[in-house]
A and B are shown apart, each in its own frame.
Chain A
Amino acid sequence: MGFDAGSAHRPRRKSFLLLFFKKEALACLTPQEFAAITTLKSRLDDLLASRRASETWDAAYQEIVATLSRNGMLDAVLPVGAPFPSFALPSAEGRLVSLAAALSRGPVVLGFFRGAWCPFCRLMLAALTEALPLIEAAGGTLLALTPETGGLPLTMKRYHGAAFEVLADVDFGVGLMAGVVFRIPPLYRERLVASGLEFPQRHGNGAWCLPVPATFIIRPDGIIAERFVNVDFAVRPEPEEIIAALDRLR
């Protein structure tokens, strides 16, 4: 453990504190204070509960989880121990960024996100933005991949004031190699269309695909050390789990 132990323990203490808070007591806090002492999971769960109150949304959500569970798509996701394929992708700022360049600095945390429009991704990106100093202190370089094009990666990056690379996985190329891409089932697609999300324009590809949110911890030699992947887009790893995975590589 060659990094500053005090700062590394801070987020763990936040989660620990949570055990002593009741939800009612949290209501009087500002959003920033609330975010600082709640886990990502509790925020994702709250968001999911509010969305599921809509019957049509809930049906579409259940359809995605059931479809992806049934067709065994997780079997296709790159497993721990496999090399992550080398790639170079355009960044939000219009640079070409290669995995190899990131790995030359140490382990890489590579996350697949659904896009700037997705509130679950926004919660996770906000948590990662906050945890970035700790991720970097643990030696990690964070790369966030989104299938969106047309300036939207920069929109996503600016929205979060993110200091990590946001890369455009144009036409789902890297997602396909990682096995995380699926075709959106009909009900969920209807919900997206109804809310005005034109994926053919946003992606520059009319396949109506998305990645499952997956996070890979990649060793400097390119081998996948750990992965967090779930067919349920509301289930994401805590930043603390990512930092712990990086710590295990030291």
Chain B
Amino acid sequence: MELSQVRYFVTLCQTLNFTRAAAQCHVTQPAFTRAIQKLEDELGGPLLYRERSLTQLTELGRAMRPHLEAMLLAAEAASALAQSFKDAPAASLKIGLGPGIGGAAIAPAVQEMARTLPDLSVHFDESGPAALIEAMLTDTLDCALLPEDCVLPERLNRWALYEERAVAVFPAGHRLSALNAVTADDILEETILAGDRCGDFAGRLADATGATLRLRRCNGPAAQMVDMVGAGLGVALLSERLPVAPQVVTRRFSDPELKRRVVLTTVAGRRLNPAAAGFVRLCRVMAYE
């Protein structure tokens, strides 16, 4: 398929009018129509119903639209990134981080963008999924890392990035520090700190074991929860990828294994600035250990 055919189709999806779409693409209508027909031939069926008063996408057209939009945006992004290497424009990258998701795994991708675009500013926003999704839809965030199990509107792209397992976090000198790994039985007697922003590994533990856990609500950022663990308020279950303070100890949580997958999300069909487009592509390609 040809770049121009895909561009014509994406424009036609937006206008649903052959005359207007051809004009927007600066081609004659016969050339425009031929290009769409050739694309339909290659994709194996009609993409649009052509009725006198109404142009509508067929099922195939609706199914192909987001993928072809993504391909067109990818071509534009690959060119724009190459151009921005030459121009080195000021650029910004606005990343949302969902509950209990740290920035360590994506730091190499941020660093690579800063290497190629030296005048890059980076902004992180840590919040719940609903707030981050809203921020992406209103274009105040470029992308967000979210837990796979949160409900995402269809308008969002999602790509699985990595899995992360839980570690138990407790004060130095705690009886659990004698163990190599912690199991459900080991912490049933402990008070577990649970909050909206810690990744809900306690909820996963309750689901997996059916046990009634001794929970203490502790809402707020993970860093403050770790401070509270250090002060003896209870034990926390957090992602293995989060940094921890020196006054606490972490042990792998082994039975049951508590893990979750983290996905990268963007608004489908949204054209991102070169810094964000490059960052999203780096994140999608990287191997996470």
A residues near B64, Cβ cutoff 8 Å = 207
A residues near B287, Cβ cutoff 8 Å = 92, 94, 150-151, 154-155
B residues near A176, Cβ cutoff 8 Å = 1-3, 6, 71-72, 74-75
Q: Which residues A164-180 have CB closer than 8 A to chain B?
A: 168-174, 176-177, 179
Q: Does any Cβ of B come within 8 Å of A95's Cβ?
A: yes
21 pairs, CB–CB < 8 Å, chain A vs chain B: A85-B75, A86-B82, A89-B281, A90-B285, A92-B285, A94-B108, A94-B287, A100-B85, A100-B86, A101-B85, A149-B159, A149-B284, A149-B285, A170-B74, A171-B73, A173-B73, A173-B74, A174-B75, A177-B3, A177-B79, A183-B44
Given contacts A96-B112, A96-B278, A154-B287, contact A173 B68 (CB under 8 A): no
The interface bits of chain B over 41-73 (1 if a CB of A lies within 8 angstroms of the residue's CB, else 0) are 111100000000000000000001011101111
Given contacts A73-B42, A170-B281, contact A98 B85 (CB under 8 A): yes
A183:B43 contact, CB within 8 angstroms: yes
Given contacts A150-B160, A206-B67, contact A96 B74 (CB under 8 A): no
B284:A204 contact, CB within 8 angstroms: yes
> Which of A71, A96, A172, A182 is in CB contact (< 8 Å) with B116?
A96
A residues near B282, Cβ cutoff 8 Å = 90, 94, 96
Minimum CB distance partner of A181 in chain B: B1
How distant is the Cα of A176 from the Cα of B79 in the complex, in angstroms? 12
Q: Does any Cβ of B come within 8 Å of A139's Cβ?
A: no
The interface bits of chain B over 153-175 (1 if a CB of A lies within 8 angstroms of the residue's CB, else 0) are 00000011000000000000000
A94:B112 contact, CB within 8 angstroms: yes
Minimum CB distance partner of B113 in chain A: A96
B285:A94 contact, CB within 8 angstroms: yes
B residues near A71, Cβ cutoff 8 Å = 38, 41-42
B residues near A171, Cβ cutoff 8 Å = 70-71, 73-74
Q: Does any Cβ of A come within 8 Å of B286's Cβ?
A: yes
Minimum CB distance partner of A86 in chain B: B82
Q: Does any Cβ of B come within 8 Å of A87's Cβ?
A: yes
B3:A151 contact, CB within 8 angstroms: no
In the complex, besides A86-B79, A173-B74, 7 extra interface pairs with C-beta distance below 8 angstroms are A87-B81, A88-B81, A89-B78, A94-B286, A95-B112, A168-B284, A183-B44
Q: Does any Cβ of B come within 8 Å of A239's Cβ?
A: no
What 3 A-B pairs come out closest when comparing CB atoms? A173-B74, A151-B287, A171-B74
B residues near A182, Cβ cutoff 8 Å = 1, 42
Which of B66, B78, B159, B285 counts the most A-chain CB atoms under 10 A from its CB? B285
Q: Does any Cβ of A come within 8 Å of B21's Cβ?
A: no
B residues near A101, Cβ cutoff 8 Å = 85
A205:B85 contact, CB within 8 angstroms: no
Q: Does any Cβ of B come within 8 Å of A185's Cβ?
A: yes
How many B residues have CB within 8 A of the partner chain?
43
Question: Separation in Å of the B65 CB from the closest CB of chain A?
Answer: 10
Q: Which residues A83-112 have CB closer than 8 A to chain B?
A: 85-92, 94-96, 98-101
Given contacts A87-B81, A96-B112, contact A205 B70 (CB under 8 A): yes
Q: Which residues A37-89 have CB closer than 8 A to chain B?
A: 71, 73, 76, 85-89
B78:A87 contact, CB within 8 angstroms: yes
B85:A88 contact, CB within 8 angstroms: yes
Q: Does any Cβ of B come within 8 Å of A153's Cβ?
A: yes
B residues near A174, Cβ cutoff 8 Å = 74-75, 78
Question: Separation in Å of the B173 CB from the closest CB of chain A?
Answer: 39
> Which of A98, A151, A168, A183 is in CB contact (< 8 Å) with B281?
A168
How distant is the Cα of A100 from the Cα of B101 in the complex, in angstroms? 36
Q: Which residues A192-207 have CB closer than 8 A to chain B?
A: 201, 204-207
A76:B2 contact, CB within 8 angstroms: yes
Q: Does any Cβ of B come within 8 Å of A186's Cβ?
A: yes
Q: Does any Cβ of A come within 8 Å of B12's Cβ?
A: no
The interface bits of chain B over 67-103 (1 if a CB of A lies within 8 angstroms of the residue's CB, else 0) are 1101111111111011101100000000000000000
Question: Separation in Å of the A20 CB from the closest CB of chain B?
Answer: 45
A residues near B285, Cβ cutoff 8 Å = 90-92, 94, 149-151, 153, 168, 170
Q: Does any Cβ of A come within 8 Å of B235's Cβ?
A: no
